[in-house]
Amino acid sequence: MTLDIKIIKRKNYVYLVQLQGSIDTETYTHLENELAEIMGEPTKAIIFDMTGVKYISSIGIKVIIETKKNLEHRYATFTLVNLQPQIKKVLDMMKILPMVDIFDDMPEADKYIDQVIKEEIEKQAI
């Protein structure tokens, strides 16, 4: 299986990671390598757009969890958008859904991330 990854840098070090294909034992290292490049930046948020993800294995779930934990240590945000029903079902069965912010679409995710960044800026100003 393959995984196409497109990373789009948005404002304020927010990255949109568009995924197409499967996140599994054959593709997870490609995703980890692509994420490593943006983790070196002063990243404020990463959004995984899961519109094109048809399959995710346990190693793919591990990448999601590790990305979220890495960002939490940096006080950054991690979200998932546009989950396909089969992916949502797997994440729900693995009890991952309560751990990750999930949005139905990009405008909803953008609103949330803008609010989080605004709150962080306000904290730093105090």
Domain coordinates in residue numbering, the chain:
3-125
More confident: 84 or 117: 84
DSSP the chain: --EEEEEEE-GGGEEEEEEEEEESTTTHHHHHHHHHHHHTS---EEEEEEEEEEEE-HHHHHHHHHHHHHHHHTT-EEEEES--HHHHHHHHHTT-GGGSEEESSHHHHHHHHHHHHHHHHHHHH-
The 10s digit of each residue's pLDDT in 6-47 is 999 998 899 999 999 999 999 999 999 999 999 988 999 999
- pLDDT at position 98: 65
CATH architecture of 3-125: 2-Layer Sandwich (3.30)
> Is a pLDDT exceeding 90 seen at residue 82?
yes
